[in-house]
Amino acid sequence: MASAGNALSVFEQALSVIQNNVDNASTPGYARQQLNLEALPLDVASGLVGGVTSAGLDNSRDPYAEEAVQIQTQALGFYTAQAQSTGTIQSLFDVTSTSGVSAALNNLFQSFSAWSTTPSDATAQQNVLNAAANVGQAFQSLSNSLSQTAGQIDGQIGSTVSEINALASQIQQYNVQRSQSSQADPGLDAQLYGALQSLSQLTNFSTVTQSDGTVTVLLAGGTPLVIGTQQNVLSSNTFVSTDPPPVYGQSMPTAHVLDSQGNDITAQITGGQLGGLLDSRNRVLAGILGDSQQQGTLNQLAQGLADTVNQILESGTVSTDPGAANGAPLFTYDTTNPATAASTLALNPDITPAELAPVDAEGNANGNANALAALENPSGTQGTIDGVSYLQYFGQIAAGAGQENQTATANEQAQQQITTQAESLRDQVSGVSLDQEATAMLQFQQAYQATAQVLTVLSNLGQDLMNLIVPM
């Protein structure tokens, strides 16, 4: 009677586990449970009555598979955030040449060209000033729009850090409860893995399960996010980095993530949504607008254009008359701070049309005006940056932003598939023993390798095709 009663109790537990599995089939992070049954020895002479007893709960979670999915999810979070933010950056560059910096530069060069044919014509002179004012406005407008985008990304970084802290808090709470219990709780376990899965969309990390069942979460560089019952609360901020010492002290601040001690751990965040946002903010945007170590391509262009035009005008005179005044600079910008050249570029407020100097230093009547008109398609090094004209250089900046977005979008699409497949493989191997799965795994591995070999051939053929249309 006793053994039968015990067996009934154990089978009731088993039914309860099955019911729990059914109830939680859709619960995020839940893994199927299985109650292990163990036969009890039967020896009537010794008073051992036999029957069955519970030998503990097993779940179908495979730690390796879970981690593999988390790694792929981190990459997906990175590319998704990168694609969204570079999409915003890209949209600020008008590639139709009907407005913005490109159109303003075109109009300026046209005004130089018209002025070169009638250097003393007041209308032509005024048109040059108007076009220069528009160039200044276009640079300032683009620079301001990019700075606003930087501010938006900073806000997203802040909210992502808050989400990370909230999830870290959940994990810390799990650790508190887990450390007070000698056995794993399926419900708690599901909450933990749900939180880890959500966290993997936001940042890159690894986990270590301690002997007491608590989970340590480490950011990629080893900075702990959660250790036992301790949480390292992160924060975000923007400032001009002083390590290494700034070359451009008054540059646009970059975004940083700090640990609870105030240590800068930005470099450790290379995955997840936070990694993607930081990359767009501190690499892509900083490449255009500058930071403590670089002037920024847009500032380089603004300064290059202003310096060249001003140097040509100031080297000449306003007429061929003896003793004629030297020309006035057409543009102004904050020369003490080259990393803000684009946001401060403007028409010289003191210049008058008559102060434009069409005569070059050798006394040629419209030598300067011709030199300025020639900046549209320069033949020498004057009027170029990295060997290309100012218009082409701006085209390169715009194309670079577009390329960043195209690459990020393509990576996002590819990574979406990889993540989906990792989830599928996780489901395939979870709860399966090596003995059960070994033969099938070998068949899959061989099928993958055969596919990889076909792909190698296809890749080589793709290279051959490329060589045919672009001979080396």
Q: Which residues bind other proteins (CB under 8 A)?
A: 62-65, 68, 72, 410, 413-414, 417-418, 421-422, 424-425, 427-429, 433-435, 438-452, 454-455, 457-459, 461-466, 468-470
Q: How far is the CB of 38 from other proteins (least distance, A)?
A: 23
- DSSP run (H or E) holding 218: strand 215-219
User: What is the dihedral sign for C-alpha 256, 260, 263, 265?
Assistant: negative
> Smaller CB distance to other proteins: residue 37 or 425?
425
> Smaller CB distance to other proteins: residue 38 or 437?
437
Q: How far is the CB of 86 from other proteins (least distance, A)?
A: 17
> Smaller CB distance to other proteins: residue 182 or 433?
433
Q: How far is the CB of 282 from other proteins (least distance, A)?
A: 26
Spell out a b/e string for 253-262, using b for 16 or more CB atoms within 10 Å of the CB, else e.
ebbbbbbeee
Q: How far is the CB of 205 from other proteins (least distance, A)?
A: 18
> Smaller CB distance to other proteins: residue 382 or 459?
459
> Smaller CB distance to other proteins: residue 243 or 464?
464
Helices 390-429 and 297-315: angle between axes, nearest 10 degrees: 180
Q: How far is the CB of 397 from other proteins (least distance, A)?
A: 22
Return the structure tokens found at 387.
């060997």
Q: How far is the CB of 75 from other proteins (least distance, A)?
A: 10
Q: How far is the CB of 314 from other proteins (least distance, A)?
A: 46
Q: How far is the CB of 30 from other proteins (least distance, A)?
A: 20
CA 191 to chain centre: 28
Phi-psi region of 370 (alpha: psi -120 to 50; beta: other; left: phi over 0): alpha
Return the structure tokens found at 219.
């950011």
Amino acid letter, residue 35 = L
- DSSP run (H or E) holding 238: strand 235-239
Cβ 274 vs Cβ 257: under 8 Å: yes
> Smaller CB distance to other proteins: residue 124 or 422?
422
> Smaller CB distance to other proteins: residue 291 or 404?
404
> Could you report how far apart the first and last alpha carbons of the chain are, in Å?
88
State the Cα–Cα distance between residues 58 and 186, nearest whole angstrom: 10
The answer to whether the bond into 244 is cis (omega within 30° of 0) is yes
> Smaller CB distance to other proteins: residue 239 or 448?
448
Residues 6+ positions from 25 with CB-CB distance below 8 Å: none
> Smaller CB distance to other proteins: residue 64 or 239?
64
Strands 48-49 and 331-332: unpaired
Q: How far is the CB of 93 from other proteins (least distance, A)?
A: 21
Cβ 212 vs Cβ 223: under 8 Å: no
Phi-psi region of 377 (alpha: psi -120 to 50; beta: other; left: phi over 0): beta
Q: How far is the CB of 276 from other proteins (least distance, A)?
A: 18
* Strand partners for 209: 215
Task: Catalogue the E-assigned strands of 92-149.
Answer: none
Q: How far is the CB of 449 from other proteins (least distance, A)?
A: 7
Place of tokens 């290494």: 244
State the Cα–Cα distance between residues 84 and 270, nearest whole angstrom: 17
DSSP one-letter code for 40:
P
> Smaller CB distance to other proteins: residue 336 or 433?
433
Spell out a b/e string for 268-305, using b for 16 or more CB atoms within 10 Å of the CB, else e.
bbbbbbbbbbbbbbbebbbbbbbbbebbbbbbbbbbbb
Return the structure tokens found at 246.
């700034």
> Smaller CB distance to other proteins: residue 37 or 441?
441
